[in-house]
Chains A and B, each alone.
Chain A
Amino acid sequence: MTRYLIHRSLFLLPMMLVISALVFVAMRMIPVDPAELVVGPYATAEQRELARQKLGLDKPIIAQYGIYLLNALQGDLGRSFKSGKEVTALIADTLPNTLLLGSVALTFAYLLAIPMGVLAAIRQNTLIDQGAMTIALIGISVPNFWLGLLLILTFAVGLRWLPATGSGTWAHLVLPSITLGLQYTAIVARMTRSSVLEVLRQDYVRALHAKGLERRKVVYVHALKNAVIPIISLMGLHISAVVGGSVIVETIFAWPGTGQLLINSIIGRDFPVVQAVLTLLGATVLLANLLADVLYTLADPRIKYSAHR
């Protein structure tokens, strides 16, 4: 296990380099001259050339990437072309909001989904089961951008219970977290149901039953404990998925997070910001994957990892 972990961790650094290099190259492939973005459309050819030199665009791309890395290691990610703010400051401003939204959404999803899944499993093939699973299926199938619109229309504009957009109070969190979390509620509920069912079918649970243990105890203590293992292990994956989902949800609700920062920067071709945020996101995904594996191993001691699977 330890050896496996070390091995995986050793992979993190080169993978990060690969991601940042890929993003760097991708950004340079966009048919918009970064110098153009900095000087604006009314600059003379001479000014444009000065900007190119200032940005180091006259150097070969490998040298540019090297300079970028050196600066990045010293904590300098450059300035946004658009607002002129330091990229590090932009990320520091927005990241806490995204983390808040994401964690509330995931907590909401898990708190709702696990009881829902367990209930559906122990009442398998009843109306409760079918109802819960239908809701879950709809939750997976409704695109979040549509769900967001419907929620704003109903609860913010129609009933005026909750604010439509912005941030600051807990009330602002409600609609975006539901929009972001519902999909995961649905996924987790379905997964909980099937893993509880699987555990219930297993021989040792039947044996416990046969031993005369109360059904309730069997379900809650033994079955649930074992069923939750794969669910928890997927949490790591959901973390990175939530980051992706937040891009659209933050845009709809004007939530000042990193997701909105990213999409605005992609649309505005604000390369320094896109570069930094995507690299950061890559790191999050790698760590989340690692976390998922570790949790999985810890939760299920039957799984043994070798360095080379």
Chain B
Amino acid sequence: MIGIVIIVTLCIVAAFAPTLALHPFAEQDLMRSLERPLTPGHPLGTDVFGRDIYSRIVWGARVSLQVGLMVTSVSMAIGILIGCISGFYGGRVDLVLSNLINLVWGFPLILVALLFVTVIGPGLTGAMIATGLVIWSGFARIVRGEVLALRSREFVVAAQALGRGNLWIIFRHILPNIIGPVLVIASFTMAVAVIIETSLSFLGLGAQPPTPSWGSMLNEGRAVLYRAWWLATFPGIAIALLVLGFNLLGDGLRDVLDPRMRD
């Protein structure tokens, strides 16, 4: 419940960022740098460049949610495809694919993302591709498991007996039955995607200036931690809140859709 509230609120913030923001996110006023929170015109203070932190956080919500959505939808598509093939066809196909899934799943996400960004070059697009390419295995594992279980169920066997094509069976019988677990994973994936994107931006490999990513804001705040605590505090809270929201949402969805599932 709280999860939905957090996510909906942040989605609204992201959608209405141009209205809600008090200043353009890139507008600098060096002579008003590092103003404290609650300064008139700057409710959360300003950063080293005199940019309004509140406005940047508002715009940052848009960046984080966009990245999360892009990454999650791409990885969902890849994950479902591979999971279905692996689970449905079984045999040697499954042997190869399940090993691949396990390998990717076990490999530390941040490292693979780092490697990809190194090859493609820094930037949000690079970060999104990198994250998407490694995060799909979560979907694939669940989908494969579900498909394995469904494949031997009566209605699938019956459909096969009736001579239905595999694709037909997958779309008609399998996919509708795995929507629940997929949604749960999607919610957790959003959380992880946000963490990876902010980590890469924190390392300077994600969003490029002046794009207001919360991760790069945190990194900029690091240098003035003692002089101006607010720079690193508010973006940190924002990241934690968004991730918390998706985790809560995932928990909630799991309780509703699939009480059997565990972490």
Q: Do chains A and B touch in the complex (CB under 8 A)?
A: yes
B94 within 8 A of A: yes
B239 and A143 contacting across the interface, CB-CB below 8 Å: yes
A141 and B262 contacting across the interface, CB-CB below 8 Å: no
Of the candidates A187, A266, A285, the one whose C-beta lies within 8 Å of that of B106 is: A285
B236 and A146 contacting across the interface, CB-CB below 8 Å: yes
A237 and B108 contacting across the interface, CB-CB below 8 Å: no
Closest to A236 in B: B106
Of the candidates A30, A145, A244, the one whose C-beta lies within 8 Å of that of B111 is: A244
Nearest CB on B from A139, distance (A): 10
A141 and B103 contacting across the interface, CB-CB below 8 Å: no
Of the candidates A194, A245, A262, A289, the one whose C-beta lies within 8 Å of that of B103 is: A289
B108 and A140 contacting across the interface, CB-CB below 8 Å: no
Cα distance, A308 to B93, chains bound together (Å):
10
By a CB distance below 8 angstroms, the chain B residues around A138 are 240, 244
A50 within 8 A of B: no
B115 and A26 contacting across the interface, CB-CB below 8 Å: yes
A137 and B98 contacting across the interface, CB-CB below 8 Å: no
| Interface of chain B: mostly helix, strand, loop or mixed | helix
Contact with A along B112-143 (1 / 0, CB 8 A): 00110011010000000000000000000000
Contact with B along A133-161 (1 / 0, CB 8 A): 00001101111011001100100010000
Nearest CB on B from A147, distance (A): 9
B95 within 8 A of A: yes
B218 and A145 contacting across the interface, CB-CB below 8 Å: yes
Of the candidates A26, A143, A237, A281, the one whose C-beta lies within 8 Å of that of B198 is: A143
Cα distance, A247 to B146, chains bound together (Å):
34
A48 within 8 A of B: no
Cα distance, A172 to B239, chains bound together (Å):
28
Q: How many residues of B sit at the interface, in one of the four size bands? A: 35 or more
A11 within 8 A of B: yes
By a CB distance below 8 angstroms, the chain B residues around A31 are 121
A194 and B108 contacting across the interface, CB-CB below 8 Å: no
B106 and A237 contacting across the interface, CB-CB below 8 Å: yes
Cα distance, A30 to B114, chains bound together (Å):
13
Contact with A along B19-44 (1 / 0, CB 8 A): 00000000000000000000000000
If A266-B114, A289-B103, A309-B98 touch, whether A248 touches B91 (CB-CB below 8 Å) is no
Cα distance, A14 to B118, chains bound together (Å):
25
Cα distance, A245 to B111, chains bound together (Å):
9
Nearest CB on B from A285, distance (A): 4
B109 within 8 A of A: yes
A163 within 8 A of B: no
Q: Considering the complex, which residues of chain B in the window 185-220 have a beta carbon less than 8 Å from any beta carbon of chain A?
A: 191, 195, 198-199, 202-203, 218
By a CB distance below 8 angstroms, the chain A residues around B115 are 23, 26, 266, 274, 278
Closest to A252 in B: B222
Closest to A244 in B: B108
Cα distance, A12 to B236, chains bound together (Å):
40
A286 within 8 A of B: yes
Of the candidates A11, A137, A143, A187, the one whose C-beta lies within 8 Å of that of B99 is: A11
B90 within 8 A of A: yes
Cα distance, A28 to B205, chains bound together (Å):
19
B247 and A285 contacting across the interface, CB-CB below 8 Å: no
Of the candidates B94, B118, B202, B243, the one whose C-beta lies within 8 Å of that of A140 is: B243
B102 within 8 A of A: yes
Nearest CB on A from B101, distance (A): 10
Q: Considering the complex, which residues of chain A in the window 77-106 have a beta carbon less than 8 Å from any beta carbon of chain B?
A: none
A278 and B263 contacting across the interface, CB-CB below 8 Å: no
Of the candidates B108, B226, B248, the one whose C-beta lies within 8 Å of that of A157 is: B226
B257 within 8 A of A: no
B232 within 8 A of A: yes
Contact with B along A5-20 (1 / 0, CB 8 A): 0000001000100010
A288 within 8 A of B: yes
A248 and B103 contacting across the interface, CB-CB below 8 Å: no
A145 and B199 contacting across the interface, CB-CB below 8 Å: yes
Cα distance, A288 to B99, chains bound together (Å):
13
A243 within 8 A of B: yes
Q: Considering the complex, which residues of chain A in the window 18-55 have a beta carbon less than 8 Å from any beta carbon of chain B?
A: 19, 23, 26, 29-31
A-B pairs, 8 with minimum CB distance: A244-B108, A141-B244, A141-B243, A146-B236, A285-B106, A191-B263, A289-B106, A142-B240
Residues of A with Cβ closer than 8 Å to B? 11, 15, 19, 23, 26, 29-31, 137-138, 140-143, 145-146, 149-150, 153, 157, 187, 190-191, 194-195, 198, 230, 237, 240-241, 243-245, 247-248, 262-263, 266, 269, 274, 278, 281-282, 285-286, 288-289, 308-309
Q: A30-B119, A137-B244, A309-B98 are in contact. List 8 more A-B contacts (CB 8 A).
A: A30-B118, A138-B244, A140-B247, A141-B241, A143-B239, A146-B239, A286-B106, A308-B91
